[in-house]
């Protein structure tokens, strides 16, 4: 048998042989009873927990995530696998009465979900364990075989996880880990033996891969430029503290990082004072240092891009209130005021430690500003007024609206995904399981 958890897949022919094994493995994984799938998932969760510090230090080393954030990611991954084990036992169907007219009398429909087929899972660098878990664990829960193509910056974390899954008793042909180049990845996307493609990454790459995917069921989580509205009746201290965390955790390299902050005019100056204080308290430096809040970006190229976008906004009249300095691949947490709505800092996904602060004249104007643009992943609103909350829920086109917290909040159990250019489909364990399965109906004549 071809080795399926390997350090590198070099060519299309090699990848095709791996796909053949994974496709054959689907017959085994799809026939596993629920208790066996659940037990494998629980074993993986326990194994990650037993090696939690090793995983955290590997994540810190591979993608330079601050060690305290890496530890939190590992804790979440443990919870994700446990939740998937529980959900594997909770898949239920429906009984649908059909005696709605004379022709259907005496009949009854039963529904059940079945895995669509082998899944291709493509993951980004920024959460090299838990975003992998959010694709792998639901696939295991429904009994789908899968091939995982991890980010080129973080193959070791994915390989370590793949070996734990194999050791947990998952069928050997039921998983492959395929670190590889873009050319081979595109060949995998085109391969008709996969029934599902689940991709997390940039909008440009995601929509291109969808165009190549053929008849596959496609799930895309593509990021955004998340906005927050701070209303005049908000708890300003909490809003400032959470916005500072949401904008600068992991150097803003989070698809739901706070990027746009709209503040009602009566409290704008006070909020600005509070958030500047919070930004000044952030510890910037070595990700291996236990005290570090903001470390370097993933590469020098990423830091240069962020610096270029900052300069572009400044040239157009914006002002930097704090930070913005660059030392190699490290950007000091930047808070920008007066940026134009159409500049890249406002309109695109900066994926760096930058937030734009803007004054709005009313809650209604703030909601309009939240709703504009090409992205729609998550948004946040700080207010005590439920009327404003309900108005926002109905008028702001995002996959998730977070009330009295930042859009950077995510529970691993909740449905998660975007609209517009932020993607299609939903993750979150149970909701990803639905994406990986299809309903089959059985009609019984009584």
Q: What residues are labeled active site?
A: 221, 255
The residue assigned the tokens 């803007």 is 358
Separation of alpha carbons 36 and 374, rounded Å = 43
Phi-psi region of 86 (alpha: psi -120 to 50; beta: other; left: phi over 0): alpha
Separation of alpha carbons 368 and 372, rounded Å = 6
> Which residues on neighbouring strands pair with residue 310, listed in sequence order?
none
DSSP assignments along 113-157, one per residue = EEE-S-EEEE--SSSTTHHHHHHHHHHHHHT--EEEE--TT-HHH
Nearest 5 degrees, angle CA 209-CA 215-CA 218? 50
Q: How many CB atoms lie within 10 A of CB 387?
A: 9
C-alpha distance from residue 195 to each of 22, 32, 144, 147, 218 (Å): 12, 19, 10, 12, 9
* Nearest CA among 409, 412, 407 for reference residue 430: 412
């Amino acid at each position: 048998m071809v080795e399926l958890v390997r350090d590198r897949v070099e060519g299309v022919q090699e990848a095709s042989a791996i796909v053949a094994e994974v496709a054959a493995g689907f017959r085994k994984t799809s026939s596993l009873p629920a208790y066996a799938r659940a037990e494998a998932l629980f074993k993986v969760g326990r194994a990650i927990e037993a090696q939690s510090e090793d995983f955290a230090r590997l994540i810190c080393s591979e993608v330079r995530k601050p060690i305290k954030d890496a530890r939190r990611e590992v804790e979440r991954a443990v919870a994700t696998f446990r939740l998937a084990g529980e959900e594997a036992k909770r898949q239920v169907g429906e009984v649908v009465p059909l005696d709605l007219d004379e022709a259907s009398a005496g009949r009854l429909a039963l529904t059940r979900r079945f895995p669509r087929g082998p899944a291709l899972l493509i993951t980004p660098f920024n959460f090299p364990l838990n975003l992998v878990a959010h694709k792998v664990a639901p696939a295991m829960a429904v009994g789908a075989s899968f091939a995982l193509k991890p980010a080129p910056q973080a193959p070791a974390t994915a390989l370590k996880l793949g070996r734990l899954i194999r050791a947990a008793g998952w069928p050997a042909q039921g998983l492959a880990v395929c670190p590889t180049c873009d050319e081979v990845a595109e060949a995998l996307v085109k391969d008709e033996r996969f029934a599902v493609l689940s991709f997390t990454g940039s909008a440009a790459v995601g929509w291109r891969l969808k165009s190549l995917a053929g008849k596959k069921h496609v799930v895309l989580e593509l990021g955004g430029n998340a906005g927050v509205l701070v209303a005049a009746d908000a708890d300003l201290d909490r809003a400032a503290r959470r916005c500072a965390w949401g904008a600068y955790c992991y150097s803003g390299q989070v698809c739901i990082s706070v990027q746009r902050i709209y503040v009602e005019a009566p409290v704008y100056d006070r909020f600005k004072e509070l958030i500047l204080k919070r930004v000044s308290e952030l510890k910037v430096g070595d990700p291996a240092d236990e005290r570090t809040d903001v470390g370097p970006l993933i590469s020098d190229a990423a830091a240069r891009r962020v610096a270029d976008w900052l300069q572009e906004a400044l040239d157009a009249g914006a002002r930097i209130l704090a930070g913005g300095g660059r030392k190699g691949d490290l950007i000091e947490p930047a808070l920008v005021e007066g940026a134009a709505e159409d500049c890249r800092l406002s309109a695109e996904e900066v994926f760096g430690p930058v937030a734009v602060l803007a004054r709005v004249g009313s809650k209604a104007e703030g909601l309009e500003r939240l709703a504009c643009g090409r992205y729609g992943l998550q948004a946040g609103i700080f207010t005590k007024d439920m009327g404003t909350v309900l108005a926002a829920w109905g008028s702001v086109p995002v996959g998730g609206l977070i009330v009295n917290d930042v859009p950077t909040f995510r529970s691993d159990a909740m449905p998660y995904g975007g609209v517009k250019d932020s993607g299609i489909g939903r993750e979150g364990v149970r909701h990803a399981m639905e994406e990986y399965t299809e309903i089959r109906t059985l009609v019984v004549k009584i």
